[in-house]
Amino acid sequence: MTQTISTNESYNADFAALLEQRKSEPGWLHELRHKGMDAFNELGFPTARRGNEAWKYTDIRPVAAATFEHSAGPGEVAAKKLDALLPFDQDLHRIVFVDGFYSPELSRLPDEGLAVTPFSEAIETHTAILETHLARHSNPHHDFSCGLNTALWRDGALVHASGAAKTPIHIVYITSEHSRLVVTYPRTLVVADAQSEVSIAESYLSLGEMNHFTDPVTEIALAEGAVVRHTRLLLENQRAYHVGHVRVSQGRDSTFESVAYEAGGGLVRVDLEIELAEQGGSAMVNGLYITSGEQHVDNLINIDHAAPHTTSRLYYKGILDDRSRAVFGGTVFVREGADKTDAHQEDKNLLLSHEAEVDSKPALEIYADDVKAGHGATAGAIADEAMFYMQSRGLDEETAMQFLVRGFAAEIIERVTIDPLREWLEGQALAALPRFRVEEAAA
């Protein structure tokens, strides 16, 4: 047990109250919830300096010390305001949750061919899928956040693809404006049947400036030959705590493509775990984190090559300004017998301030023969030669910097496969940095 600050009592009280409210839930689900709470009580918050290597660069004590409340119901969110915040999704299917509660008024679900269902309904309509997959890929004992989410989620999104879905799906989790500290536990389950194909965007938003805690878990299960394209957008306010876990399980000859865009949150930790469980699987993992002010963003990514003839590419980029800090930990694990693995990972960082800091630790663990693998990490300021070249073409210093930052980000953004989302993100990279927002407003 590594916890040094005890706030378990409030979470256990929330758990007891939830069980009382959810007496009608099936026994298997109550059992999962108990496993999650047991895991949290066993693990606690990783606040101790010793025994928490995975949290070496991220201080979780602000989360551990705070007392958060569940919202009694969804806050008011105007459809026009949501559409203005997310202008790219007008032609997408959409399922929306506000403060942990499903919002049918803000959602646009497909009529047929693809199941997009809130858990509150799926417990009755898709019982077998939930019982087979829920909390079977993401271990509640992964860390405190997985335990809490497994125990305390109120609702979540089930996406079940059985064929080729033509229209992308947008899953939106909103924390509305509150006058107190609130916590939500978004839960997402994506099940892609054999030979199916689906594109998903998953967004996290704050509508107010108040601090809040978001503790999401996303599980994605790909059967043989399935293709899942997943874009994750972190757009919460800069006072928010966000500690999340994404777990991907891949079957034979399946393809997983992901892009993470992280420009929000004050204290952020995202663990992404991918298991290439059967041969022929491939994972293409990309990310862009943009930080300013006092933001702290920590990405821990593990790709497990458990079978031969599997491929992975991990490519993350960071743009850091002011006194912000980023952490990148990437491990590619090649198991014994996973011959013919082809894996590469890279993390590149652009520092716009002398006070910004990044800690990057890519790693390889290889226990198989005939493997192609490599990794790299870089961090630095904009090259003087690049600035000189741009200015020699007639651009002033600030305009030249904008072009170079936009070009640095474009390599990741261009990998987003949902066209309107990619176009929207192309304009967001600069807007996420206050120095450029000020200049644009002045112009």
Residue 225 scores a pLDDT above 90 = yes
C-alpha atoms less than 13 angstroms from C-alpha of 37 in its C-beta half-sphere: 21
Per-residue pLDDT of 14-35, as tens digits, reads: 999 999 999 999 999 999 999 9
Q: Could you give the angle at the alpha carbon of 33 between the alpha carbons of 198 and 77, nearest 5°?
A: 55
Residues paired with 334 in a beta bridge: 305, 366
- In the sheet that 169-175 helps form, which strands lie side by side, from edge to edge? 101-102, 93-98, 169-175, 197-206, 227-235, 255-262, 282-291, 311-320, 342-351, 372-380
User: Hey, CA dihedral for 431, 435, 438, 440, is it positive or negative?
Assistant: negative
Confirm if 264 and 238 have CB atoms less than 8 A apart.
yes
CA–CA separation, 395 and 393 (whole Å): 6
Q: Is 80 exceeded by the pLDDT of residue 93?
A: yes
Quick one: CA dihedral 187, 286, 335, 53, positive or negative?
negative
| pLDDT tops 70 at residue 47 | yes
Name the pLDDT band for 341 (thresholds 50, 70, 90): very high
Q: Is the pLDDT of residue 439 over 80?
A: no
pLDDT tens column, 246-272: 999 999 999 999 999 999 999 999 999
Q: What is the pLDDT of residue 440?
A: 47
Residues with Cβ within 8 Å of 383's Cβ and at least 6 positions away in sequence, in order, are none
CB 144 within 8 A of CB 52: no
Put simply, whether the predicted model's pTM sits higher than 0.85 gets the answer yes
